[in-house]
Amino acid sequence: MNIKKLPKSERPVEKLIYNGVASLSNSELLALILHTGSGEKSAIELAEELLSINFKGVSYFGELTFEELINVKGMGPKKTSSVLAAIELGKRIDTAPKYNRFVIKCSEDVANYYMPELRHEKKEYLKELLLNTKGEVEYSETISVGELSNTTVHPREVFNPAIRKSAAAIIIVHNHPSGDPTPSEDDIQATKRLISVGEMVGIKLLDHVIIGDGKYISLKSLGKI
């Protein structure tokens, strides 16, 4: 059956959008990679046929060769290449070394991490590092792009990622497009507000580092935290 004739709730794209990618079956995932079926089979039917080539199950699907795939009726070089590329990407993701966590020992470590990225930006970026209980960086998040002020920095935007990812502490960072990292009164007031909210939710704000052009200032080193 043509996928377009299925009820919307049963179509792979719609299922992914409304229910998440984990709701899709193996054949539906593969159908999205194939994109289209053949003249006789829908993409899902073609996917089911491909998955049945290796009787050992989906865990051995990655062992299939170009020749085995392209010999299936309805598979051409483009579809076969797409499937093999997806398999290879999955293998590389699975075997890639995990993010190399590092420990923030001082404000200079933070500045060194963000300086290459932010020193020449023409817009103001607010970012944060999420740390675990060992002081290791787990994630880097972009919170907002635009002018940083006490009224525009919403604590929920800063702390929501930290709460979702169970961070023990955070460090916030933003740049001054002028190149001068001297904190404004808004910078200081926004920091104080975040400190208060952090105390309420149990996630400590360790520092607020402002990046300029080759220079930085830590509000902790200024005694503001």
pLDDT of res. 199: 94
Distance CA 110, CA 216 (A): 10
β-bridge mates for residue 136, sequence order:
103
Read off the pTM: 0.55
Model confidence over 37-64: pLDDT tens digits? 888 889 999 999 999 887 667 777 888 8
Answer for the pair 205, 110: CB distance below 8 angstroms, yes or no: no
CA angle 26, 32, 34 (to 5 degrees): 100
pLDDT of res. 151: 42
Instruction: Provide the percentage of residues in the chain whose pLDDT is more than 90.
Output: 56
Copy the structure tokens of residue 104. 């923030």
pLDDT of res. 150: 46
Strands 169-175, 137-145: pairing is unpaired
Distance CA 115, CA 211 (A): 6
Instruction: List phi, psi (to 5°) of 9.
Output: -65, -15
Q: Which residues of the chain have pLDDT under 70?
A: 1-2, 4, 55-56, 95-100, 147-152
CATH homologous superfamily of domain 107-218?
Cytidine Deaminase, domain 2 (3.40.140.10)
pLDDT of res. 212: 93
Return the CA Rg of the chain: 25
Distance CA 69, CA 76 (A): 9
Domain ranges of the chain: 3-95, 107-218
β-bridge mates for residue 166, sequence order:
none
